[in-house]
């Protein structure tokens, strides 16, 4: 049995809080999801935000420059944006250099590594600052599909950026409030920054994705649950491979389907429509049955941020009627009814 991984401990001296959250010129709310996740789940660590002149979003903490943030006590600049391909543009590189010159450490979850940028590496060296790349996966085994002890829940989605991390963390909070053993297993950069550990599964070589999740969630004998953060979507042409590997490696006993109502097309692909809930759920169950034939769905998590309270309630009820599962917005409503269904399906 592999030991529980702890590649990125919370007390790692290379990226200590408090944080200044870098939004750069994020074009929309979803582009700043890493910063937004930290503000939602670790507000005590978030001192301020840095926004460029063309930034079109905010995570509603004080705006600060790099020197101002350092003087106020910030220790680390978190690159709080995510984009297709995870690239650092020239403006971001210049800003990161300026942050290092102001005395901040820098941590990033983008695919393009900080330590591969000569200007950034030189700035860190001359200022005695640290660089941390969250998407630097540890070595993992090839998946074997062997049955593991313990219970596992995986969040899946109709698209990427539908709230899988929020939902998984909300489930952990609700289950722990009931005295249940439950642990969030981070698989993306935001989750790693929130949890302090995990595996950046979309940076793992394809042959090792399922093995990476087996490593992240090994045998468990305490009667508790591993709550595994999902990534991407089986219906997204760019990211379906990661979603498939997650389903196979997680061997989930339970699935929660995440969806943003009203989204017209797949994230970044205007020529691909978002699939319907029933089709998405059935495809995920079929795929998951390769390594766990007994997998069941226990709920639907809806991101209703763009809906009024009345519209959100109607949308949740419609999803319940369609699938026969409890449907909630984890941010507005929590996940109590989804956990109720989970415990009905898997009594303690």
Q: Report the alpha-carbon distance of residue 11 to residue 160 in Å, rounded.
A: 30
- List CB contacts of 218: < 8 A, sequence separation 6 or more: 1, 2, 3, 4, 148
Q: Pairing state of beta strands 151-157 and 254-259?
A: parallel
The arrangement of strands across the sheet holding 46-51 comes to 46-51, 19-24, 76-79, 105-108, 131-133
- Check: CB of residue 20 under 8 Å from CB of residue 47: yes
- In this prediction, residues 200-204 reach a mean pLDDT of 91
Q: Report the alpha-carbon distance of residue 323 to residue 338 in Å, rounded.
A: 13
pLDDT, tens digit (0-9, with 9 covering 90-100), for 133-191:
988 888 889 999 999 999 999 999 999 989 999 999 999 999 999 999 999 999 998 89
Confidence (pLDDT) at 143: 93
Structural domains of the chain sorted by starting position, each given as residue range(s) with its CATH number in brackets: 19-133 (3.40.50.720), 151-345 (3.40.50.300)
Q: What is the pTM of this model?
A: 0.87
Instruction: At 332, give phi and psi (nearest 5°).
Output: -75, -40
Asked if omega into 18 is within 30° of 0 (cis), the reply is yes
For the chain, give percent helix, strand, coil, nearest 5: 40, 20, 45
């Amino acid at each position: 049995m592999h030991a529980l991984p702890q590649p990125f401990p919370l007390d790692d001296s290379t990226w200590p809080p408090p944080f200044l959250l870098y939004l750069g010129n994020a074009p929309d709310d979803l582009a700043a999801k890493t910063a937004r996740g930290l503000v939602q789940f670790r507000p005590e660590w978030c001192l301020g935000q840095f926004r460029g002149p063309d930034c079109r979003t905010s995570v509603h903490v004080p705006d600060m420059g790099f020197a101002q943030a350092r003087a106020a006590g910030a220790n680390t600049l978190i690159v709080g944006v995510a984009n297709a391909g995870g690239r650092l543009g020239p403006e971001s590189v210049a800003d990161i250099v300026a942050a290092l010159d102001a005395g901040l450490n820098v941590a990033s979850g983008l695919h393009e590594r900080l330590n591969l940028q000569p200007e950034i590496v030189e700035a860190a060296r001359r200022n005695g600052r640290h660089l941390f790349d969250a998407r630097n996966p540890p070595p993992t085994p090839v998946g074997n599909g062997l049955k593991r002890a313990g219970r596992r829940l995986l969040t899946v989605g109709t698209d990427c950026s539908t709230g899988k991390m929020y939902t998984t963390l909300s489930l952990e909070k609700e289950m722990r409030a009931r005295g249940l053993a439950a642990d969030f297993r981070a698989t993306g950069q935001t989750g790693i920054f929130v949890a302090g550990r995990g595996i950046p599964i979309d940076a793992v070589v394809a042959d090792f994705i399922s093995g990476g999740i087996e490593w992240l969630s090994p045998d468990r004998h305490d009667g508790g649950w591993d709550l595994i953060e999902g990534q991407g979507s089986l219906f997204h042409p760019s990211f379906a491979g990661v979603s498939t590997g997650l389903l196979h490696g997680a061997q989930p006993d339970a699935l929660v389907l995440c969806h943003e109502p009203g989204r017209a097309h797949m994230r970044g692909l205007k020529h691909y429509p978002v699939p319907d809930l029933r089709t998405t759920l059935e495809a995920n169950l079929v795929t998951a049955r390769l390594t766990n034939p007994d997998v069941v769905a226990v709920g639907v998590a809806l991101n209703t941020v763009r809906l009024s309270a009345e519209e959100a309630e109607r949308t949740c009820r419609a999803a319940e009627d369609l699938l026969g599962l409890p449907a909630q917005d984890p941010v507005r409503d929590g996940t109590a009814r989804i956990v109720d269904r989970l415990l009905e399906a898997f009594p303690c």
